[in-house]
Amino acid sequence: MKSAFITGAAVGQGNMLAKKLAGQGWRVFAGVLPGAETDLGEVEGVTMIEQDVSDNASVRASAEQVNDQLGREGLDLLMNVAGVANVATGLIEGIDMELVPKLFEINTFGQLRVCQAFLPMVRRAPQPAKILNFGSGAVLASPPMAGAYSMSKHAVHGLTLTLRNELAPFGVQVTSIWPGAVKTGMTANSRETTLGSWNAQPEPVKSTYAEYLKRGITELLPDMIEKKGNTPDAVTDEILKIVAQRKLKAWYCVGSDAKPLGVMSRLLPSGSFEALIRGAYKIPAAKV
């Protein structure tokens, strides 16, 4: 029986992936934030493991629990899903720097911690064991107001690329997953969330950028999420198809909105691609 560990599995995509893998006969260990509400306790084939990815001791303890239950067997699949989006949101000139470390502790260092702690189990697995590190379509789109978030996800891809080199001799496949907008709790109430983030910016910053960015951030972005956002069911099905591949590429755009971005980022000159992104937010052309 194949085994998997999924971080951030209490709700959202991680929750759905845990259920679907268990339904396919996998032995699933689900990382759940201590005290978090979840319905996984009633799912056959899923073992809940308390884990706070932002805490070194918690991650080590969770790895020890999984290792004890696996015995001599290896871990066939590690999925780093846990992450947050609506933390340290803001224009670069207006970000609350006190909040940025929290974002990175979860989104970036959390994946680093988990990989480090679980790698011995992954290396023990029959080839090809796999690691999926969850990034974001923001790596390509670089949306305004999401600079810190984009940085945290760019760093995750740096982790992926390094692991691909370090783990190649062991036959371990590693990839980055870059979903587009997924209609989960993370993107719920997008109009209220984006407007609240805008209003939280310092007044001098808002007055400087409002003419160029406010409409794109508080109106056009929520419109895009509502009209083109992907259902969790469709996204997780697509991710499981990636899991089934024997040889993984370095990254995959997932979702009907993100896939075209991936293609265009490869085919278009960088200036043309940037102009395309700015056009979606109605940002004026760069002055030269």
Tens digit of pLDDT for each residue in 215-263? 999 998 888 888 778 999 999 999 999 999 999 999 999 999 999 999 9
As given in the structure block, the two tokens for residue 41 are: 């306790």
Q: Identify the weakest region by mean pLDDT among 63-72, 127-136, 180-189.
A: 180-189
* Alpha carbons 122 and 233: distance in angstroms, whole number: 27
Q: What is the CA radius of gyration of the chain?
A: 19
Residue 187 has pLDDT above 60, yes or no: no
Considering only CA atoms, which of 102, 9, 20, 2 is closest in space to residue 50? 9
pLDDT at position 119: 98
CB atoms within 10 A of CB 146: 23
214 is catalytic: no
**The dihedral formed by the CA atoms of 233, 237, 239 and 243, expressed in degrees to the nearest 10:** 150
pLDDT at position 225: 84
Place of tokens 């699933």: 28
Give the three-class secondary structure for 184: coil
C-alpha triplet 117, 132, 237: angle, nearest 5°: 140
- Please, what sign has the CA dihedral across residues 158, 161, 164, 165? negative
pLDDT category of residue 22 using cuts at 50, 70 and 90: very high
Residue 188 has pLDDT above 70, yes or no: no
* Alpha carbons 91 and 202: distance in angstroms, whole number: 10
Burial of 285 (0-12, 13-18, 19+ CB in 10 A): exposed
Place of tokens 């201590």: 34
pLDDT at position 203: 96
Residue 166 has pLDDT above 80, yes or no: yes
**The dihedral formed by the CA atoms of 256, 163, 125 and 80, expressed in degrees to the nearest 10:** -50
* Alpha carbons 153 and 104: distance in angstroms, whole number: 9
First to last CA, the chain: 60
As given in the structure block, the two tokens for residue 136 are: 């974001």
Mean pLDDT of 53-64: 98
Residue 186 has pLDDT above 60, yes or no: no
Considering only CA atoms, which of 229, 157, 156 is closest in space to residue 190? 229
Q: Which of 168-177, 184-193, 217-226 has the highest mean pLDDT?
A: 168-177
Residue 16 has pLDDT above 60, yes or no: yes
Of 2, 130, 153, 214, which residue is the catalytic one? 153
pLDDT at position 266: 94
% pLDDT > 70, the chain? 98
Give the three-class secondary structure for 33: coil
* Alpha carbons 85 and 106: distance in angstroms, whole number: 10
Beta strands in 109-183 (DSSP E): 130-134, 173-179
pLDDT at position 12: 93
Mean pLDDT of 113-128: 95
CB-CB contact of 257 with 228 (8 Å): yes
Of 19, 130, 149, 252, which residue is the catalytic one? 149
212 is catalytic: no
Give, as one character, the DSSP assignment of residue 169: G
Helices (H), the chain: 12-23, 56-70, 100-107, 109-124, 138-141, 147-167, 190-199, 203-209, 215, 221-228, 232-243, 258-267, 270-280
% pLDDT > 90, the chain? 89
